[in-house]
């Protein structure tokens, strides 16, 4: 049976950081002055970065937290505690906990949205930014289509009370297992991996879903305002830190046309890596390629 403390190799260290009013669990590897933060998405936890912790930890101090509400981190009971601003504060607080003023931030799915917000709001705290699968918010809106709205149906479904929890928990999280087995490259997720994700969601499910509910206005405007041709400040936001965008082109949620304009929202050196055979779970489906792209980007002199 999966257990956080024993399911990792000896070189990975578990710890806790008190960040404001929440206590965040994290796993780290490596030493040095340069800090790399790995931010996971839904419905995952630190474990989604197991390959990157091992690889990047050879040269950097790499930390993968359980975001607030997930797995072993604190789970505030108020929905408003999961607004994007609070999630940004958690990331900056983690930097303070580790005694640094800046970090490279790597985010996937929800983690990418948080990483983007940190880079936009606190550019002085980010020396490199890497986004996996989720493009900049402005690019998301610029590439929006009815087909993309339909692919992102879960954002609307998760606004409902209790029904998403009921559907996801049914049959010992059968839906979660189905998604992992049918949307990723064959062999990506072992039975142990799926058991790990189930355990994390048994510990907390409503809190991860509250990310969608607490940020309802932001998410729904990104979906529907673009279709109606309405202006949004998201379409004007650009970051001014070196940025890498990694995209698995077989993503079952985020379409290629939706990420086509990612470069337009970065006013700094920009790199992009496309992986034609990988999908949404890119850092787990193609860990060697993702690790190589991240290492090459982090070592660039800009």
Catalytic residue, chosen from 109, 193, 210, 251, is 109
Q: Return the pLDDT at 11.
A: 87
Give the residue-averaged pLDDT of 234-259: 93
Q: What pLDDT sits at residue 221?
A: 85
Active site residue 25: no
pLDDT at 236: 76
- How far is CA 192 from each of CA 3, 9, 184, 196, 197, rounded to the nearest angstrom? 10, 15, 16, 6, 9
Q: Active-site residue 261, yes or no?
A: no
Angle of CA points 243, 246, 251, to nearest 5°: 145
193 counts as catalytic:
no
Q: How far is CA 193 from CA 5, 7, 170, 291, in A?
A: 14, 10, 19, 19
What local confidence, expressed as pLDDT, does residue 9 receive?
54
Q: Is the pLDDT of residue 155 over 60?
A: yes
pLDDT reported for residue 216: 94
Asked whether the predicted pLDDT for residue 229 surpasses 80, the reply is no
Q: What is the pLDDT of residues 87-112, one digit of tens each?
A: 999 999 999 999 999 999 999 999 99
Q: Are 68 and 76 in contact (CB under 8 A)?
A: yes
> Residue by residue, what is the 3-state secondary structure of 133-148?
CCCCHHHHHHCCCHHH
Identify the active-site residue in 25, 40, 108, 280. 280
The pLDDT of residue 230 is 61
Mean pLDDT (the chain) is 94
Q: How far apart are CA 200 and CA 66, in angstroms?
A: 10
**Among 196, 204, 200, 197, CA closest to 165:** 204
* 69 backbone φψ class: left, alpha, beta (φ>0; ψ -120 to 50): left
Bridge partners of 132?
A: 108, 246
In this predicted structure, the answer to whether residue 211 has a pLDDT above a threshold of 60 is: yes
Kindly indicate the confidence band of residue 6, based on its pLDDT and cuts at 50, 70 and 90.
very low
Task: Report whether 293 contacts 273 (CB < 8 A).
Answer: yes
The predicted structure's pLDDT at residue 225: 74
CA dihedral 149, 152, 153, 156 (to 10 degrees): -90
pLDDT of residue 222: 85
What pTM did the predictor assign? Answer: 0.96
Residue closest to 2 by CA, chosen among 163, 202, 148, 140: 202
- Other beta carbons within 10 angstroms of residue 55's beta carbon come to 19
Among the listed residues 74, 212, 247, 251, the single catalytic one is 212
């Amino acid at each position: 049976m999966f257990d956080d403390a024993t399911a990792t190799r000896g070189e990975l260290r578990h710890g806790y950081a008190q960040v404001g009013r929440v206590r965040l669990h994290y796993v780290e590897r490596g030493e040095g002055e340069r800090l790399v933060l790995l931010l996971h998405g839904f419905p995952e936890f630190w474990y989604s970065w197991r390959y990157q912790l091992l690889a990047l930890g050879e040269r950097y101090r790499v930390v993968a937290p359980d975001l607030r509400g997930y797995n072993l981190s604190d789970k505030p009971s108020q929905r408003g505690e999961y607004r994007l601003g609070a999630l940004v504060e958690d990331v900056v607080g983690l930097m303070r906990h580790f005694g640094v003023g800046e970090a490279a931030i790597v985010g996937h799915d929800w983690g990418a949205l948080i990483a983007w917000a940190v880079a936009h709001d606190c550019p002085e705290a980010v020396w490199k930014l890497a986004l996996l699968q989720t493009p900049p918010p402005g690019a998301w809106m610029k590439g929006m289509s009815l087909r993309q709205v339909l692919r992102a149906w879960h954002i609307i479904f998760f606004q409902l009370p209790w029904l998403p929890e009921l559907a996801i928990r049914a049959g010992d999280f059968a839906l979660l297992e189905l998604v992992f087995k049918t949307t990723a490259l064959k062999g990506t997720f072992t039975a142990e991996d799926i058991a790990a994700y189930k355990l994390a969601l048994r510990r907390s499910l409503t809190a991860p879903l509250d990310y969608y509910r607490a940020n309802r206005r932001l998410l729904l405007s990104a979906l529907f305002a673009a279709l109606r041709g309405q202006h949004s400040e998201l379409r004007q936001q650009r970051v001014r830190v070196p940025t890498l965008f990694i995209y698995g082109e077989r993503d079952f949620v985020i379409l290629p046309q939706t990420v086509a304009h990612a470069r337009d929202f970065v006013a700094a050196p920009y790199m992009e890596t496309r992986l034609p055979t990988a999908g949404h779970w890119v850092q787990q489906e193609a860990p060697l390629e993702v690790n190589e792209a991240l290492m090459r980007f982090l070592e660039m002199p800009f």
